[in-house]
Amino acid sequence: MKKVFKGIEDKRESGDVWFDELKRKRTDGPAISTKRYVEFNESTKSVHAGQYDDPNTNALGTPIFQCSTFYLNESSYNAIEEGRGRDEMIYTRYGNPSQWSVQEKLSALENAESSIVFSSGMAAISSTLLAVLDKGSHIVSSRDIYGGTYNFLYEDLDRFGMSVTFTSPTNIEEIEAAIQDNTKVLYFEALTNPLLKMAPIEEIVSLGKKYNLRVIIDNTFLTPYNVKPLNLGVDLVVNSATKYLNGHSDLIGGTVSGSRKLIDRIWPQMLKNGGSMDPHACFMLERSLKTFALRMRTHNANALELATYLEDHPKIKKVNYPGLASYNQHELAKKQLKGKNSGMISFEIEGGDAKAHSLLKTLKLPKEATSLGGVESLISLPYNTSQASLTKEQQKEIGINDGLIRLSVGIEDIEDLITDFEQAIEQIF
Ligand SMILES: *Cc1c(COP(=O)(O)O)cnc(C)c1O
């Protein structure tokens, strides 16, 4: 029997109270610039938040602190002794001003108290989960989930004495039914790959409150531009920064954001797993984030136009896109995205996988490659990339039909993209 959570007394009974009653005084996390630009909008935050202008040189923009270690002094010795290593310059795996600067920008964009950057999305996800789960913990997650995350949950949790149940990402009754006595975390993706199913975040948060569970959302597909899960009550949000956050297909990185208390708990796990972000990669990510809102606006607008064009095309059987009235969670999309959208589309073409392959070969602009969120349009077939480990029957079961194509719409001129699809579809039929 799972127990409905009644309040702090329940926790006292189970001895699980110390973490909530920690009284240590906290700041918002390590930062060398305290400017969050919280009162400003997305583009202003993207450009300015977290940037550190070096007072010694008057250089405009955060320098790259490309060092592995720092001179020790009274303050760092004290920090080491008091276990406050996260706020001090000691050693770059512990922290580095290049990381702090980009973390501040991310916290501004996510509306978070604190953030950590990692060497990859998977480093962020695995360290976050290991930090918040204990031996014997159970987690409820989705069948429609990123392959690397699925493998971690399915293959590795077991070895730590933990377990997982996979449910539909959209059916709240099924999610609730999967919660057990020892469930600690609900882990879902805001928008799934490749069918773009939308997690009902507020309902999942309600379940989290009802059973005293932590809710973690992977927001890679939507990004904080389109939805801010922390504003909806989620405890932690993770991102593969490799995708939209960096946006130029030239870096691997990951992020986690949330309350300072929880992020402080993930930090020592990051130290042990070792997936910290290199200072040069931090510079690249901070530089890319300056155009984040600008890029997202174009990704969204292009995707909406292209999805509308494809839906009207006689050779296209079905288009999955949250901005279309035909999207089967359109009401939720309107409510959750508040007029924002998505840069991802998936669609089924007549003639199945054979025609889908021809289309990829015939298009001139979208590049045939896995990954997503880059300035260039990227196109691939889920059946032989992201969902290749599933049998044809399993693929059909979750809705990956013959001829399904995944498209990450870039920021090229929309007229050029539509003309390209027009000529390619014309040519292959
Ligand atoms: C790519 C991706 C990841 C993994 O990120 P890496 O940076 O490749 O480690 C996790 N979740 C989602 C939804 C992704 O698309």
What single-letter DSSP state applies at residue 277? Answer: P
| 3-state SS record for the chain | CCCCCCCHHHHHHHCCCCCCCCCCCCCCCCCCCCCCCCCCCHHHHHHHCCCCCECCCCECCCCCCCCCECCCCHHHHHHHHHCCHHHCCCECCCCCHHHHHHHHHHHHHHCCCEEEEECCHHHHHHHHHHHHCCCCCEEEEECCCCHHHHHHHHHHHHHHCCEEEEECCCCHHHHHHHCCCCEEEEEEECECCCCCCECCHHHHHHHHHHHCCEEEEECCCCHHHHCCHHHHCCCEEEEECCCCCCCCCCCCCEEEEECHHHHHHHHHHHHHHCCECCHHHHHHHHHHHCCHHHHHHHHHHHHHHHHHHHHCCCCEEEEECCCCCCCCCHHHHHHHHCCCCCCEEEEEECCHHHHHHHHHHHCCCCEECCCCCCCCCEEECHHHCCCCCCCHHHHHHHCCCCCEEEEECCCCCHHHHHHHHHHHHHHHC
Mutate to test the pocket of ligand 1, among 144, 152, 220 (most ligand atoms within 8 A of CB): 220
The pLDDT assigned to 18 comes to 55
Q: Work out the number of other CB atoms within 10 angstroms of the CB of residue 199.
A: 30
Among the options 93, 290, 334, 367, which is catalytic? 93
Structural domains of the chain ordered from first start: 27-290 (3.40.640.10), 293-428 (3.90.1150.10)
Among the options 243, 260, 340, 406, which is catalytic? 243
The pLDDT assigned to 8 comes to 64
Q: Taking the model in full, what pTM does it have? A: 0.94
CA distance 206 to 271: 32
128: tokens are 């976050």
Q: What is the pLDDT along the chain (429 residues), one digit of tens a residue?
A: 577 877 766 666 665 555 555 555 556 667 777 788 999 999 999 999 999 999 999 999 999 999 999 999 998 898 888 877 888 899 999 999 999 999 999 999 999 999 999 999 999 999 999 999 999 999 999 989 999 999 999 999 999 999 999 999 999 999 999 999 999 999 999 999 999 999 999 999 999 999 999 999 999 999 999 999 999 999 999 999 999 999 999 999 999 999 999 999 999 999 999 999 999 999 999 999 999 999 999 999 999 999 999 999 999 999 999 999 999 999 999 999 999 999 999 999 999 999 999 999 999 999 999 999 999 999 999 999 988 888 888 888 888 999 999 999 999 999 999 999 999 999 999
Closest CA to 400 of 418, 388, 410, 416: 388
| Residue list, ligand 1 pocket, CB within 6 Å | 120-122, 146, 148-149, 189, 218, 220-221, 240, 242-243, 252, 254
93 is catalytic: yes
118: tokens are 């990692």
Among the options 146, 187, 327, 383, which is catalytic? 146
Contacts of 341 (CB under 8 A, 6+ apart): 226, 300, 303, 304, 322, 323
Three-state DSSP state, 275: coil
225 is catalytic: no
Closest CA to 24 of 96, 87, 76, 75: 87
Q: Which atom of ligand 1 is nearest to the CA of 254?
A: 7
Q: Determine contact, residues 140/183, Cβ cutoff 8 Å.
A: yes
Distance 386 CA to ligand 1 centre (A): 11
Three-state DSSP state, 214: strand
Distance 408 CA to ligand 1 centre (A): 14
Closest CA to 190 of 312, 73, 44, 344: 344
What single-letter DSSP state applies at residue 191? Answer: B
The pLDDT assigned to 21 comes to 59
